[in-house]
Amino acid sequence: MDHRRDARHRRAATDLHQFHGHLRRGSRRAAIAASSTPCRDSAAPIEASDLDWTILRPGRFVRGGPSSRRLTRRGEPFVGDDVSIDALSKLIVDLAMREGLHVRESLGVSRE
**pLDDT tens digits, residue range 8-64?**
555 555 554 454 444 444 444 444 444 445 666 788 888 888 889 999 989 888 888
CB atoms inside a 10 Å sphere around CB 108: 21
Query: Angle 37-48/2-24 helices, nearest 10 degrees?
Result: 120
- Give kind and range of the element (H or E) at residue 63: none
In the chain, domain spans: 1-48, 52-112
Strand partners, 107: 56, 73
**pLDDT tens digits, residue range 68-97?**
889 999 888 888 889 999 999 999 999 999
Q: What's the predicted TM-score (pTM) here?
A: 0.62
